[in-house]
Structure 1
Amino acid sequence: MPPSCIQAAFAEQRERNPDALAVSCGTVRLSYRELDRRANRIAHRLLALGAGPEVPVGLLLAPSAEVAVAFLAVVKTGGCYVPLPAAAPPERLRRILAQVRAPVLLSDSGVPGRGPVAPAGIRAVDAGADPPDVPDTDPDVPTPQDRAACVLFTSGSAGRPKGVAVTHRGVLSFALDPCWARGRHERVLSVAPHAYGVSAYEFWVPLLNGHRTVVAPPGPRDVALLRRSIEEEGISAVHLTAGLFRVVAEQAPEVFAPVAEVLTGGDVVAPAAVRRVLDACPGTVVRTLYGATETTAFATMGTFSEPPASGATVPVGRPLDDVRCHVLDAALRPVEPGAEGELYIAGARLARGYFGDPAETAARFVADPFGGPGDRMFRTGDLFRAGRDGTLEFRGRLDDQVKVRGHRVEPGEVERVLEDRPDVAHAAVVARGPEPQNPRLVAYVVPGPAGTDVAALREHAASMLPEHAVPAAFVTIDALPLTPNGKLDRAALPDVPPVREPAGRPPRTPRQRALCALFGEVLGVPGVGLDDSFFDLDGQSLAAVSLVGRIAGELGIELTVAELFDAPTVAGLDAWIAEGGRGR
């Protein structure tokens, strides 16, 4: 039987080897004993401010060792941590805190704008403060396994984000799965935002198995950071979203050579990327994953130690322990092997539901006809087919939900934000793009009577939505096309938004022409001019990583993502190179 709660499982590892390194970030290194004591002190501070059993505590922290301290501190109070994405607009963060009614926000000085984030009535606590009179003993709050350990927010179709209540049972089942006991996860690199479900892998898998989590410092998640972290910290395992995995595989697959396992998922995994990594790193294993926040994290896993056959799709594997996967038809009957159906997931890792939203919980967590009394299944909304050996293959979505750079986006939430403005009569948001594995959001807008200010609409969306949910393009149309039964006809929307004219001067020198061409290829925009800005061309972080790699590979010019952001136009970048940009 597993321990009774997360903090009990951690205590077992602390007792077994108290001086072993538990978490590190740069020069900060905490042993299991030190991590436990620091978490105890913060837990006592939180309890004094109203935290306790089933009480949500907001976390707004930059990537650091303090993330592990805060996670452990909150579960020690019996409450649930609510990690906030630091890159999200402050208004969105305030809405999340108000939605869960968190009495406390634990923050640090590494996150800009932390003061205005806390709404009235919420106490903001500095995670870095360490009052001397606070005890470092364990608060010892009894915590049943069905209690919520964290609330993680995803996009919601009703116009507001949904908070998934993940339980102690779900985290324990996931973190103690035998698949992590292969001796390949001793040092796990944390590069993902800790406000998302993958944090269960990056923090709880190493910490509850006596290993170490290495938190990458703040900054762009690019090839340079991965290479440096893997080499300097002796990383044995790392998880990357399918998009970032593809970019690294295209630019520098040898980065993964020292790594025992590379995990990837969150979207369709490109077979060519898997082949490039395995060809360059014969001793590395690539594992493809599928899951949802509602299933704690990963529910299935596929293993590749040899490159997949040319032209083959990459399956997501088979269910992990304590997970049951059912491919069902509309009447909840199992389909034949090879036939398509909706995937339902059951087992110990299911979340408790959506925090404070019983109606949405009832709609997505349904009775399990194949389990015992009271068992439930999570309706994924994904179309799958299973082979005769049980291997699962993703086939598409049954609803409008899309994946953008590994993040779930409900177009309905984006549409509601756009329609909040009085100059927008109607809006429709779809995922489009020349690359199916790297789609972008396109917003089709019917202007109000006085017209629509697209620039102001873009700013409004950026102030209310996380970066990945902000449409990359806005297209004004006279009316939304409808089907005969009155529903939106998405297929009748314009295929490609009108291409903007290049800004300013055309390129003159060979280097300028090469840079303009690379900007256009990476961003999917023809005719880039010298004065076009990376940001005005709807550039985002993953595209920046790809562009930096292409410039290094084709022009021999080494630059970082931060340097690209400082000189985002071709003219600015060309001047930076002329003034001494680092040549290879």
Structure 2
Amino acid sequence: MTDGPLRVAGDLEEDLDIAHTLHELIQAQADRTPEAIAVESGSQRIRYRELDLAARGFARALAERGVGARSPVGVWCDRGPNLLVALLGVLHAGAAFVPLDPDLPPARVRTMLAEARAGHCVVDVSPCGPVDGLDVEVIAVTGDAGDPLTVPVDPDDLVSIYYTSGSTGKPKGVANPHRGWVNRMRWMQQRHQLRPGEGVLHKTVLSFDDSAVELFWPLIVGGRVVMLERGLHRDPRAIARAATAHEVSVLQFVPSMLSLFLEEVAGSPPPTLRTVISSGEALRPELVRRFHEVFLDTDCSLHNQWGPTEASIDATIHTCSPEDAALPVIPIGRPLTNYRVHVLDESGMPVPPGVEGELYVGGVGLARCYWNDPAKTAEAFLPDPAVPGERLYRTGDRAVHGPDGAIIFLGRRDHQVKIRGNRVELGEIERTLVTHTDVTDAVVTVFEAQPGDKQLLGYVVGHGGTVDTEAVRHFLIERLPGYMLPARLIVLSELPLTASGKVDRNRLPAPSTEVAATGRPPRGESELLVAEAWGQFLPATDAEADFFELGGHSLLATRVISVLRRALNLDLPLVLLFDNPTIAGLALAVERELLSEHQGAPDE
């Protein structure tokens, strides 16, 4: 890289008073407003004083079970009041939390805890999954207050270790210090100005780093964390109802879910909502247009934020105007306070406006390292030649400067992709595939079954040219999170290669749109109605085919249920499709809902 000055997009430096730990700020807020509501979960309300005492009491219990300062501790809890008690208890014990998605298969949880070298894992009273084989000490969080404890730690000590998909076949642990996260939360307040008592909806799964903003930002400024009921984060109707019922002011979405939310609230947006944040995926201009149509004549604004976990969740922001809908690409904007963002060429030189380069991020928000992986840390975190003693994170994202200096995201330089907002290294899926005894070679690609609906496609080669794809699929389900599962597995006799011996992805066969029916076609009024809705998104010729094995996922399930809701004028729960994932089964479930609705209707 060059030793000369670098072109920086909107470099902002300001004293945001960040020489604190995250839990220290939340405890200080509890001291200021002990009787204010900190958490709402259904009909339950928890005051700041109660949350603070429960968290510090749980810290005592953790210390008594051997949790030491600066040690990693797994947290495998679903949404609910005990989640914040668990997270803040770990921090008050001086440790760093390792967030674990409630839906993760136990094998994946074991892998992540082993990679983190964690000796303990906190679970809810009703655990998310079997805990007997986790090979760590399991501690249930009850919320009972013991003698309060806070172990002193430094702002440069770790607050969390978030595991993201890794190209080597193992997840990467991004180790973030308190100082960077405090800067991030302070910036959120500087920019979005949450008022005391206002609500932020916590709906994002814990292992997705945006969840930290929903959980911690409100608590340092006297706001409310509104917990969406478990299992409803995929349901835009449930999100809209919670936002209205709990008078929520701020919502975060990945664009694919924002689209469904806008469909749901068109004509009656939540009245107290004034800030919507989009992140995790590219925000499309047509979605910006739709947002401003739905929120016309309101004070609600839309912000496009971008950034990797390695930079304390987000690093840039662009506030979207109605005029942005005419742009070919929505900018990701300019850096947050105390961040530096560079667009550099392959030799490390800054590029002029309009010329493509790679994004590098510097500043106080950078992670300390990849946990227990010094080689990968040295590869990704480089010395910043413009600021002696500081570092830059090489993101692997392609970008250009627009004419006004704002940054425009262009995509990836490698095989990392975003699936419904989740970062996925295709190499990790490929390496998992080839550990199956029947698979000798594999490659994974991305295709769009419909515009904006990115899905994973796996190509596998087996002994003698045959592979039991059903067995391989179940093998993956036991080892990978749902968003990393290929929608389809295609068996090849061999992978096409380039002249240099690399896989030629351009010559991989396109997936067939036809699916062999092994069951029977839909029949009867109910099945045909479900098949019509189902068929807008997936093949609907087999009444007994599994929705998820056909390539369905949570967002497509939401769309199918939304179509049925409109067709029947019936408030069908989203979980209906997850519990009944065939046309035949869903049709029976819909009939039961209709009967229940009819029986519950008042006599005229």
TM tier, shorter chain? over 0.9
* Structure 2: distance between partners of 1:577 and 1:95: 39
Alignment of 1:135 with 2:151, yes or no, is: no
Superposed CA offset, 1:395-432 (max 9, x none): 11100001111101111111111100121110001111
Change (3 A) 1:185 1:162: farther
For 1:517, the equivalent position in structure 2 comes to 532
Tell me the CA shift for residue 504 of structure 1. Answer: 3.0
* Structure 2: distance between partners of 1:566 and 1:127: 29
Matches within 5 A, 1:411-426: 411-426=426-441
Matches within 5 A, 1:38-187: 38-119=54-135, 122-128=136-142, 130=144, 134-136=146-148, 138-139=149-150, 141-177=151-187, 178-181=190-193, 183=195, 186-187=198-199
For 2:6, the equivalent position in structure 1 comes to none
Residue of structure 2 aligned with 1:335, choices 351, 356, 362: 351
For 2:460, the equivalent position in structure 1 comes to 445
Superposed CA offset, 1:341-360 (max 9, x none): 11111110011111100111
For 2:288, the equivalent position in structure 1 comes to 274
For 2:219, the equivalent position in structure 1 comes to 207
Superposed CA offset, 1:248-293 (max 9, x none): 2234444445311111110111222222222121212111111111
Tell me the CA shift for residue 171 of structure 1. Answer: 0.7
Q: Contact (CA 8 Å) 1:364, 1:378: kept in 2 or not? A: yes
Query: Which moves more between the two structures, 8-17 or 161-170?
Result: 8-17
Superposed CA offset, 1:82-108 (max 9, x none): 111110110110111112121211111
Q: Contact (CA 8 Å) 2:544, 2:583: kept in 1 or not? A: yes
Q: Contact (CA 8 Å) 2:76, 2:100: kept in 1 or not? A: yes
Superposed CA offset, 1:489-539 (max 9, x none): 11111122463123433344566444323212223x3x5333333233222
* Structure 1: distance between partners of 2:175 and 2:197: 26
For 1:462, the equivalent position in structure 2 comes to 477
Alignment of 1:473 with 2:468, yes or no, is: no
Counterpart of 2:510 in structure 1: which amino acid?
D
- Structure 2 spans left out of the alignment, 5+ residues: 1-16
SS of the residue 1:565 aligns to = helix
Change (3 A) 1:228 1:507: same
For 1:261, the equivalent position in structure 2 comes to 275
SS of the residue 2:276 aligns to = strand
Change (3 A) 1:397 1:509: same
Change (3 A) 1:540 1:444: same
* Structure 2: distance between partners of 1:228 and 1:117: 39
Tell me the CA shift for residue 305 of structure 1. Answer: 4.7
Alignment of 1:568 with 2:585, yes or no, is: no
Residue of structure 1 aligned with 2:229, choices 217, 221, 236: 217
Counterpart of 2:272 in structure 1: which amino acid?
P
Q: Contact (CA 8 Å) 1:261, 1:286: kept in 2 or not? A: yes
Residue of structure 1 aligned with 2:239, choices 197, 220, 226: 226
Superposed CA offset, 1:77-131 (max 9, x none): 2210111111011011011111212121111133343422521xx211110163x
Name the Cα RMSD after superposition.
2.1
Alignment of 1:285 with 2:301, yes or no, is: yes
Alignment of 1:389 with 2:401, yes or no, is: no
Superposed CA offset, 1:428-454 (max 9, x none): 011112335221000000112473211
SS of the residue 2:256 aligns to = helix
Tell me the CA shift for residue 558 of structure 1. Answer: 3.2
Tell me the CA shift for residue 143 of structure 1. Answer: 1.5
Change (3 A) 1:507 1:106: closer
For 1:314, the equivalent position in structure 2 comes to 330
Counterpart of 1:502 in structure 2: which amino acid?
A
Identity of aligned residues (%): 34
Residue of structure 2 aligned with 1:195, choices 171, 184, 207: 207
Tell me the CA shift for residue 45 of structure 1. Answer: 1.2
Alignment of 1:404 with 2:419, yes or no, is: yes
Query: Which moves more between the two structures, 514-523 or 324-333?
Result: 514-523
Matches within 5 A, 1:362-381: 362-371=378-387, 373-381=388-396
Tell me the CA shift for residue 465 of structure 1. Answer: 0.2
Counterpart of 2:336 in structure 1: which amino acid?
L
For 2:571, the equivalent position in structure 1 comes to 558
Tell me the CA shift for residue 52 of structure 1. Answer: 2.2
* Structure 1: distance between partners of 2:283 and 2:53: 41
Q: Contact (CA 8 Å) 1:268, 1:437: kept in 2 or not? A: no
For 2:25, the equivalent position in structure 1 comes to 9
Counterpart of 1:263 in structure 2: which amino acid?
I
* Structure 1: distance between partners of 2:483 and 2:379: 26
* Structure 2: distance between partners of 1:38 and 1:117: 28
Q: Contact (CA 8 Å) 2:232, 2:239: kept in 1 or not? A: no
Matches within 5 A, 1:12-23: 12-23=28-39
SS of the residue 2:325 aligns to = coil
Q: Contact (CA 8 Å) 2:198, 2:224: kept in 1 or not? A: yes
Tell me the CA shift for residue 231 of structure 1. Answer: 1.4
Tell me the CA shift for residue 462 of structure 1. Answer: 0.5
Superposed CA offset, 1:357-406 (max 9, x none): 011111111111222x2211111111111113221111111000011111
Q: What TM-score comes out, normalization by structure 1 length?
A: 0.94
For 2:14, the equivalent position in structure 1 comes to none
* Structure 2: distance between partners of 1:269 and 1:81: 30
- Structure 1 spans left out of the alignment, 5+ residues: none
Query: Which moves more between the two structures, 61-70 or 353-362?
Result: 61-70
* Structure 1: distance between partners of 2:456 and 2:593: 37
Change (3 A) 1:574 1:348: same
* Structure 2: distance between partners of 1:294 and 1:198: 13
Query: Which moves more between the two structures, 492-501 or 425-434?
Result: 492-501
Question: Which aligned segments of 4 or more residues in structure 1 are displaced greater than 6 angstroms?
Answer: none
* Structure 2: distance between partners of 1:536 and 1:304: 38
| Count of matched residue positions in the alignment of Structure 1 and Structure 2 | 575
* Structure 2: distance between partners of 1:550 and 1:521: 9
Query: Which moves more between the two structures, 145-154 or 434-443?
Result: 434-443
Matches within 5 A, 1:489-504: 489-497=504-512, 499-504=514-519
Q: Contact (CA 8 Å) 2:196, 2:223: kept in 1 or not? A: no
SS of the residue 2:511 aligns to = coil
Query: Which moves more between the two structures, 309-318 or 37-46?
Result: 309-318
Counterpart of 1:392 in structure 2: which amino acid?
I
SS of the residue 2:453 aligns to = coil
Change (3 A) 1:510 1:258: farther
* Structure 1: distance between partners of 2:511 and 2:488: 10
SS of the residue 1:445 aligns to = strand
